[in-house]
Amino acid sequence: MIRVLGNMLALSMLALAIPAWAAEPVAHDQTYVNLFGGNTFFSSASGLAQHDSGPVLGLRLGQRLDGHLGVEAQVAAAFAHLQDIAPHSKAAEANQFSGALLGNVYAFNSPNTPFLTLGLGASSNRFNQDIGRGTSLMGVFGLGYQYALGDHFGLRLDVQDQLLFDSPTPNAANLNNIQVTGGISYFWGGSKKTSFPIIGPSRP
């Protein structure tokens, strides 16, 4: 399932990137906020059995520093049942809350571009009553694509591989999950820079 999602994302980014190659590159050094939602797919080490996914909601605040580099802070809540030994027991329900500082590397000096995400953060997970709540260091690796809808709005697709180190799960110390999200962004401030100098008419 996770491999299929990755292949679909790669093909989608390739198709969307073709128009960007033909367009004039433009760099936006803007601040933005991104509201996103989607799903989190946990690895078998989570002990979730058939309940191995849950919806996720989150927010990102970031800055595109130049045409190819950016930085952002991300917070999210995944409504999954971790270590749910009693699927119908309300006491066993749990949520995952996470936060991370991420760096983005954009493929093109353009508002419409695929990008690579790398980051580090923490994840707080409430497991079953026996394990309780645990907070783990979290590494993030992801791929995404952003598409501008004008000067201030844009769409964004992300697939992040999140690795939770030293988690209190009985099956494995490191818990891996894939987060697939889509969202809408709002941009403000910054400036636009064309890649080629504008040459005006020569003076006589």
23 located within any domain = no
CB contact at 8 A, 158 and 8: no
Single out the residue of 167, 6, 171, 186 nearest to residue 98, CA to CA.
167
197 domain-assigned: no
203 assigned to some structural domain:
no
The H or E element that residue 10 is part of is: helix 2-22
Six-digit token string for 110: 């353009």
For residue 64, the enclosing domain spans: 2-16+29-192
164 part of a folded domain: yes
CATH code at position 94:
2.40.160.20
Report pLDDT for 174.
78
Give the pLDDT score at 62.
96
Contact 142, 159 (CB under 8 A): yes
pLDDT in tens, the chain (204 residues): 555 455 555 555 555 544 544 444 465 688 999 999 999 887 766 655 555 678 899 999 999 998 899 999 999 998 766 655 455 545 444 478 899 999 999 999 888 999 999 999 998 876 555 555 678 899 999 999 999 998 899 999 999 999 988 776 666 667 788 999 999 999 998 766 554 444 555 555
Rounded distance between C-alpha atoms, residue 50 and residue 129, angstroms: 20
How many domains are there within the chain? 1
Residues 12/180, Cβ–Cβ less than 8 Å: no
